[in-house]
Structure formats: C-alpha cells, structure tokens
Amino acid sequence: VLACGSLLYYHCTARNCSLVSLTCDVVIVLVSSLAILGLAFRNFNIAVPVDPLEWQVSEECATSIAACIANTVGATEGVLRVAASGSDYKLFFKVVVFLYLAAAVGRAASGATVTYIG
C-alpha cells in the first residue's frame, strides 16, 4: 500500500504522466509484491491458507452487503433532504460546515496528496 501510494504521489506531482502509465506502474508493484510473497512462502514452506480463486460469496452475505449499501445511501439522502428543506437549522449548518471544510481541504491539498494520506 505504501509503495502504491508513493507511486501515485510521484506520478501525480512530479512526473505529470498519464493514467495509463500510472496504472501500469501500480500493476507492476502489485505483481512484484505477490511474486516476492510467493517466493517467501515457498522458501519457508508456508502453505497459503486459502486459495483466492476458490472464494465464493454466499447469497446471505451478498444480500447483507446490498442492504448495507442501500441503508447508507438512503440515510445520506434523508439527511441531505432534511438539510436542503431548511426545517432543521442545526443539521443544515453541520452539512454546510462539512462541505466547506471538504472544499477547503480540496483547495489546500491536491487530490494526489489526499489519496496518499487516505
């Protein structure tokens, strides 16, 4: 993660390269990391506990993930509707302050910096 974040920051600030170049570099880092991990596991005789190709998501898990996303989007929409109607001044000012702070962070730091910090 640190290597990918560093590459993203380097590409976006210093090199000003295209998205294709950035994607290729990130894939190279990920493939190299997986190859090094595979060699380390093979040399130390460590068995990989789960084969990612055999992972399956149950219907119950998929339903709970979809319900969680729907609840989050619905709650966000409800908060924004109440804030936009002006009936709850306290909520309205909270939303305005949050949006102002988000805009200030966006002006003060580049998108690459915020992504790297995240």
Query: pLDDT by residue (tens digit) across 7-60?
Result: 677 777 776 666 666 677 667 777 777 777 777 777 887 776 665 556 677 888
Q: Grade residue 111 by pLDDT with cuts at 50, 70 and 90.
A: low
Whether 109 shows a pLDDT value over 80: the answer reads no
pLDDT of residue 70: 93
Which residue is associated with the tokens 């290597």? 3
Q: Grade residue 90 by pLDDT with cuts at 50, 70 and 90.
A: confident
pLDDT of residue 51: 59
Which residue is associated with the tokens 């506990």? 49
CA–CA gap between residue 117 and residue 78 (Å, rounded): 30
**What predicted TM-score, i.e. pTM, was given to this entire model?**
0.40
Whether 106 shows a pLDDT value over 70: the answer reads no
CA–CA gap between residue 102 and residue 81 (Å, rounded): 19
pLDDT of residue 21: 67
pLDDT of residue 67: 93
DSSP labels for 93-108?
HHHHHHHHHHHHHHHH
CA 30, 66, 102, 95: dihedral to nearest 10 degrees?
-170
pLDDT of residue 42: 78
52 near 34, Cβ under 8 Å?
no
Mean pLDDT of the chain: 76
